[in-house]
Amino acid sequence: MMPIQCKMARAALGWGTRDLAKNAGVSPDTIARLERGERLREATIDVVRSAFEKAGIEFIPENGGGAGVRFSKPRA
Q: What digits encode the pLDDT tens for the residues 8-65?
A: 999 999 999 999 999 999 999 999 999 999 999 999 999 999 999 999 999 998 877 7
What are the tens digits of pLDDT across the range 38-51? 999 999 999 999 99
**33 alpha carbon, distance to own chain's centre:** 12
Domain boundaries, the chain: 3-71
Task: Check residue 63 and give its pLDDT.
Answer: 77
pTM of full prediction above 0.85? yes
Pick the CATH number of 3-71 from 3.10.129.10, 3.40.640.10, 1.10.260.40, 1.10.1040.10: 1.10.260.40
